[in-house]
């Protein structure tokens, strides 16, 4: 069934821009390129879309939490999370294909036979053009994800799931 209204979060160029910002912040480390796998990309996109869950995880890990905007705390999406977004990676795969075809990211198969993605110089250049307040906020949220980058995606999944199922409080 088609919805009778338009959901901006599903707009293609917005989602591509958000992913570019995610790669810009998270796939470049101090000394080397950090490669992100598909589940981790999906989890990080979910956490930037739902910073209230990110705050709960940061609090649990004894990390500094983020000052949330009212729209991030009290919107319908914040109050009633769609759990399926964490596990449904079909849309992310499509976005990754678009980013790959534009040479904004590259894919590598590493020793564990897993596909990992990282941003290219062209992707960094394109990400720099995204200077609106919305994309700046997205980058700020992405910076808060840095402590989670080194964790396996299965651990991040458990952290997210624990706050969706059990309703842990901040």
Q: In angstroms, rounded to a whole number, what is the distance separating the alpha carbons of residues 37 and 43?
A: 10
The pLDDT of residue 81 is: 74
Return the closest-CA partner of residue 19 out of 98, 112, 131, 122: 98
Residuewise pLDDT in 10s, the chain (170 residues): 665 655 666 788 999 999 999 999 998 776 677 889 999 999 999 999 889 899 989 988 888 888 988 888 777 777 777 777 777 899 999 999 999 999 999 999 988 888 999 999 999 999 999 999 999 999 999 999 998 988 898 999 999 988 875 444 54
The pLDDT of residue 93 is: 94
The pLDDT of residue 4 is: 64
Q: In angstroms, rounded to a whole number, what is the distance separating the alpha carbons of residues 54 and 48?
A: 7
Cβ–Cβ < 8 Å for 132, 41: no
The pLDDT of residue 85 is: 76
The pLDDT of residue 94 is: 94
pTM of the model: 0.85
The pLDDT of residue 16 is: 94
Give me the DSSP letters along 120-139.
-HHHHHHHHT--SHHHHHHH
């Amino acid at each position: 069934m088609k919805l009778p209204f338009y959901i901006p979060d599903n707009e293609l160029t917005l989602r591509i821009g958000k992913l570019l910002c995610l790669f810009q912040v998270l796939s470049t480390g101090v000394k080397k390129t950090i490669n992100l796998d598909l589940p981790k990309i999906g989890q990080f996109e979910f956490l930037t879309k739902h910073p209230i869950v990110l705050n709960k995880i940061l609090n649990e890990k004894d990390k500094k939490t983020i000052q949330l905007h009212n729209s991030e705390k009290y919107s319908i999406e914040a109050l009633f999370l769609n759990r399926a977004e964490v596990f449904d990676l079909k849309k992310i795969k499509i976005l990754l294909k678009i980013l790959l075809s534009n040479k904004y990211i590259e894919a590598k198969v590493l020793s564990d036979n897993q596909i990992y993605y990282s941003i290219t110089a062209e992707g960094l250049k394109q990400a720099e053009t995204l200077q609106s307040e919305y994309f700046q906020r997205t980058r700020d949220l992405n910076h808060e994800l840095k402590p989670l980058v080194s964790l396996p995606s299965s651990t991040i999944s458990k952290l997210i799931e624990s706050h969706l199922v059990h309703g842990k409080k901040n």
